[in-house]
Structure 1
Amino acid sequence: MTGNQIPLFPPRTVSELVEDIQALTIEIQELYCLDAIPWVIGVSWGKDSSTVLQLIWNAIAGLPPEKRTKTIHVITTDTLVENPIVSAWVRKSLAQLKIAAQEQEMPVEPHLLYPKTKQTFWVNLIGKGYPAPHNQFRWCTERLKIQPANQFIREMVRANGETILVLGTRKAESSKRAATMRKHQAGRVRAHLSPNASLPNSLIYTPIEDWRTDEVWIYLNQWQNPWGQNNKDLFSMYRGATADNECPLVIDTSTPSCGDSRFGCWVCTIVSKDKSMEAMIQNDEEKEWMQPLLDIRNELDIEDDHDKRDFRRIWGNVQLFERNVDGKTSVEPIPGPYTKYWREYWLRQVLEAQTKIRRTAPEAMGDITLITSEELSEIRHIWLEEKHEFDDSLPRIYKQVTGETFQDNRLGAGNSLLGSDEWSVLEEICNDDAMHLELMAKLLDTCSASSPARFVVGGSSPSSRAATTCR
């Protein structure tokens, strides 16, 4: 028993566990055949969700083919900042699942979900300047985890009127989880199915809600995986780290996020340390290539980063708070987004890490992508259009770090009357006055974008072009 596990249920013998599995098999078969409501299984490919998927697969495989008429959708969310080892495991598992479903005539359809480009971690942090997440500002979970899963489930509800969401949550995960599950159980209108407070017309089925952690591992190690995956590989992955919980499919804010889990996002700053990645690097020389990721994560995880952030909030307003340090009280502005310098700094760090890892990682990880071209395009769009930083530094940084030219497929990308030369002259004119520079840049950029025909450039040289005006 670990520090996170509580003795909610007395230990069971293996024979008692076998009896429970047999009863669960019948229960799953009856629920499946009861109606035409589609099933959605939320799978993170950790121990709990893998157990649920294996239980359901084996139960449905026990039905005659003519009764396997209802599609079971298996959804997994890729945040684009997952631990690379876990991400590779997930992709391999999904591929095996799809092949096995076709070969065994199983009504299982896997789906790999992603957050929208505008909502990804790097677009928000590097593009908009959101600070690294912390307990008081956990902006990442909703955008990266909850929204992609909920959107898929809502689409299922719209198409079918109702859906049953199958999860691997267990009461033994924590006392908070147990209390939440008991509360939902009290509102059950159908046997074994709990209402979903955040998703109307979606019922929740948790077949292993009363299982202990040791029973989960007994099942995975003693019952053969039906789609060809080796569960002992999963056990080996867990054995390399210190925490106890997997990163579950997150559908609401009460579900433990990656920050509280066994394997989570490599950028996660919700916890004090990424113990799983630290253990992987320390215990296996073949995983030392992940060190640049850990370095970025640790650099992001700075308690006092006020010097890296604007004194205004993201929409330009100033909010004050009373700060007490060593008995001295002061009134200071609540810091806002990262400044231009630090947004560019983080972009460079991520690109340098990606370039280095592609050189040093094993062949299977040689094409690793830490930040996608779509994200880079969106970041460039935000810097140019929302922040009016017409020096257009992203392609320049990309070229300096990777040695390659950034290809931006966005319509109209790079079409601007102003550029880095004008920005440099404007910096010189403003004499390092950041507020003055920002104001002038916004005025010039807005004028050039809204009335290009009336936009007059002073001359051909950078210094004369600084005399640009609007008629």
Structure 2
Amino acid sequence: MSQKYKRAWIITFSGGKDSTCVLQLMYEMITKLPKDELNPTYAILSDTLVEAPNVAVYFKNIVKAINLDAKTRGLPFEIIVAHPSPQNEFWVNLIGKGYPSPTRIFRWCTERLKINPMKSIVKNIVEKHGSAIMTLGVRKSESMNRRRSIEKRTVSEDGFSKHDDYENVLIYSPITEWLTEDVWSYLTTQNPPPWGISHAKLFSLYSQASGDECQFIIDKSQSSCGGSRFGCWVCTLVNEDKSMQGFIKSGESSLAVLNEFRNFIKEARENRSMRCDFKKDGSFSPGPFTSSARKEILRRLLRAEAEFKACGGSELISDEQLGMIAKIWEKEFDSESSCITISKEFGRMQNIEISTPILEDVDLIDTTSKGGEAAKRIISEIVRKEGIKDNEIYEIIMKNIDDETAKLGESDDIL
């Protein structure tokens, strides 16, 4: 690599054909250059924790294979998997805080699940190395919107453009002029990947599903990945998840229960009986999911998980996420450990004892919020300090606050 650009390289890797093509081009170059000429190189893969299960397995295997190969060769290369922070995970927001399932207007998921985790990693890389060049797997032939997006960027004579969010990051898009057939020809006939695993599974995923590839999202101006081959299985930004339907028709019948749940949470946001009447700012419009709706969504998710696992699938929500949801519910409306009780109905959280909660400070909740949450926190503190033992009185008070809070529609401050 040119000493003129002796800076870190960052490969944005969505797992789709175009980003895989760029990844392989870069990796092949790294394996052929003298090691003293190599720049530190990173690929970033975004894992929202709600990827389609068959795609998640593919991601896990490909990351493991490439990182092992790079280590064996002694290359300064690593794929880093970006995850959302615990308080920004999908289930914590949807079921815990009551965020309605995302729409194209209220697309709360993209920034929390994809953009922020990626930005955090890029920031760390730039701070470590001083500057970086980011490669994108974008092509003009994808669509007119993509062509316009590529052509409006000011590109230097060396092929670089400035990144809008990072002063010390340049963007390089090596396959902008490639056609779809060029990409597939490169991946399937001309160049077997250096890490030793063929692209047969990738090709199979594309042949099974329909819809466009989900590009690696770096800012909110980009379109959503709803319905793409490599999007989230819970995505409600589209009317139908055609990729999931394609997987099911191609033999992945165990995914049918996931598709049914996805349709349920999409319909739930339009069901006024499942939404609070007020937003937290007091405006009279549908607010967050009610406490009863959140309980129903959790119960349906765990039922779907049980059916999916019976067909050989994996867990859909982690114990850590269930625990965080339980704490949020305690803070907002629940004095009966409902999350734990519901989880136990489906064989989850079996080692957690149910007891009358004395609320604890939880980082997930804004301690400056008003109304029922603040009242419950004050009462809990009094109970703690005064050593009150009458749990019946405590529960009655908390239940009354729960009822009033539900009427007011209190929830997270963005709703």
How far did residue 65 of structure 1 move? 3.0
Counterpart CA distance in 2 for 1:353 and 1:164 is 43
Q: Does 1:65 align with 2:35?
A: yes
How far did residue 57 of structure 1 move? 1.3
Give the counterpart of 2:301 among 350, 357, 363.
Answer: 350
Q: Does 1:148 align with 2:94?
A: no
Aligned twin of 1:293: 258
Q: Does 1:84 align with 2:84?
A: no
Identity %: 33
Counterpart CA distance in 2 for 1:467 and 1:248 is 50
Aligned twin of 1:379: 325
How far did residue 369 of structure 1 move? 2.5
Aligned twin of 2:345: 400
The aligned amino acid for 1:148 is P
Aligned twin of 1:446: 378
How far did residue 376 of structure 1 move? 1.5
Matches within 5 A, 1:202-221: 202-221=169-188
**Structure 1: 5+ residue stretches without partners:** 1-28, 320-332, 419-437
Q: Does 1:389 align with 2:338?
A: no
Counterpart CA distance in 2 for 1:270 and 1:467 is 40
Aligned twin of 1:306: 272
**Structure 2: 5+ residue stretches without partners:** 360-369, 399-415
Matches within 5 A, 1:10-21: none
- Would you say how many aligned residue pairs link Structure 1 and Structure 2? 386
**SS of 1:73's equivalent?**
strand
Contact kept in structure 2, 1:122 and 1:375, CA below 8 Å: yes
TM-score (norm 2): 0.86
Structure 1 residues 110 and 241: CA distance shift in structure 2, 3 A: same
Structure 1 residues 466 and 148: CA distance shift in structure 2, 3 A: closer
How far did residue 304 of structure 1 move? 2.4
**SS of 1:259's equivalent?**
coil
Give the counterpart of 2:11 among 41, 53, 57.
Answer: 41
Q: Does 1:237 align with 2:202?
A: no
How far did residue 463 of structure 1 move? 7.3
Counterpart CA distance in 2 for 1:467 and 1:175 is 60
**SS of 1:111's equivalent?**
strand
Aligned twin of 1:8: none
Q: Does 1:339 align with 2:290?
A: yes
Aligned twin of 1:264: 231
Aligned twin of 1:428: none
The aligned amino acid for 2:25 is L
Which has the bigger relative contact order, CA under 8 A and spacing at least 6?
2
The aligned amino acid for 1:208 is I
The aligned amino acid for 2:326 is R
Structure 1 residues 465 and 219: CA distance shift in structure 2, 3 A: closer
**SS of 2:346's equivalent?**
helix
How far did residue 261 of structure 1 move? 2.8
**SS of 2:327's equivalent?**
helix
Aligned twin of 1:422: none
Aligned twin of 1:281: 248
Q: Deviations over 1:183-241 (max 9, x none)?
A: 21x2x346211111123221111100111111111111112111112112211110111
Structure 1 residues 439 and 56: CA distance shift in structure 2, 3 A: closer
Q: Deviations over 1:134-156 (max 9, x none)?
A: 11111100100101111111111
Mean alpha-carbon deviation: is it higher for 245-254 or for 137-146?
245-254
Counterpart CA distance in 1 for 2:96 and 2:149 is 36
Contact kept in structure 1, 2:326 and 2:339, CA below 8 Å: yes
Contact kept in structure 2, 1:351 and 1:402, CA below 8 Å: no
Counterpart CA distance in 2 for 1:193 and 1:465 is 63
How far did residue 281 of structure 1 move? 1.1
